[in-house]
Structure 1
Amino acid sequence: MQATAYTFDPQTRSGSVLLDDGTPLSFDGAAFDAGGLRLLRVGQRVRIELAATDSGEQRVTLVTLQTF
């Protein structure tokens, strides 16, 4: 799934993305590290992977750059 980087904190390696419909989703440092990135700029297009939590909510498990 594609999204746009909305916020990013390089200290914690966490932030948020906006889906194409405008829905914000947060990600943690583990999801950022899983993508192998070193830095993320606000506005960059990214590819994310989601997984359902026990409560049924969607959680970002991977953030990486969108390549064409």
Structure 2
Amino acid sequence: MADLEGLTSDERVQLLGAWELKFFGVALGYFTLLFAGNVESQILQYRTISMSFEHDQLPKSTWIVQAYG
């Protein structure tokens, strides 16, 4: 981080705000990717279970437990 001794109070606040904004942006991006990956995984799992159920590869009770468990 930059040397803060030569800065005025307002400049320090602006610099701190910029760093907070960068941190928030990185954190938001990380959680967005994490959440999107989790949703995609759940959708693929649901499709696989649904296809197995449609082709009678799994008993109905197994399908319900896997879909909601």
TM interval, shorter chain, is under 0.3
Structure having greater relative contact order (Cα 8 Å, sep ≥ 6): 1
TM-score (norm 2): 0.21
TM-score (norm 1): 0.21
- Higher strand proportion (structure 1 or 2): 1
